[in-house]
Amino acid sequence: MLLQALQLPQAVAPLDIVPDSLILHIGSVAAKKVPIIPRLNVRPRSGFVVTRVTAISPDSVELKAGKKVLNGIARWFTQPIDQHDVYEPFTVQIPLSDTLEDNITRSKNTASISVDVQQYADMVIHDVPVHVQSMSGTGEIVVKTRFVRVVLRGGVQDLARIAPDDIHAIVRYEDMLRLPQGRIRPRVELPSNVVLMNVDPQFVMFSRRLNKIGVRP
């Protein structure tokens, strides 16, 4: 009843409301499943590193609301949470964000987040071959720097699983044709759970001879 829900100053009392009810048009209700995105601020202990979020359970949540409301939602965040002085893998239960709680019904209220934490270390990989991509055209490129040395940083377990074939130093043939100075910085491709700390040498040296037919390697 509107009369019971009416809020007025303390010295004022309602006598009657006409009409005593309202008809609200809220539109059609729809359902939509969106991924859950954790908001974690993890500060590991000195000498340790957060490598990845290993699991989110559930990884999605079903939302029910008006179609117009759902159209603007592509993901659903957890509430922010801090974890300090972390030195080992952990799992934490995090409430989902209560944004738009009055307008949206959620199928889940919490999510379990698992995070991997490892001791970090540096690893040196020698003699990573330089690969030339897209060798074609009317100029011939002679690459003088055939190998580079890379320094990686990451969790000790992740570094132990890296094979030499996981690391690639790449230069593009078309880029070298546009560079008159005879040197180019290689692009190093590596697994996403490690960080590139250094490349030696930083530049790949090459020479160019015009009016020659490029040969595919």
The residues of the chain scoring below 50 in pLDDT are 2-3, 138, 212-217
Predicted pLDDT at 142: 86
CA atoms within 13 A on the CB side of 41: 4
Dmax (CA) of the chain: 98
Domain 28-119, architecture per CATH = Beta Complex (2.170)
Over the stretch 83-140, which tens digit does the pLDDT of each residue have?
999 999 999 999 999 877 667 889 999 999 999 999 999 999 999 999 988 766 546 7
Span 121-209: which CATH code?
2.170.120.30
pTM of the predicted model over 0.85: no
**pLDDT (0 to 100) of residue 30:** 86
Q: Where in the chain is the domain with CATH 2.170.120.40?
A: 28-119
Domain with CATH 2.170.120.30 in the chain: 121-209
Q: Going by DSSP bridges, is the β-strand pair 29-37/76-77 parallel, antiparallel, or unpaired?
A: parallel
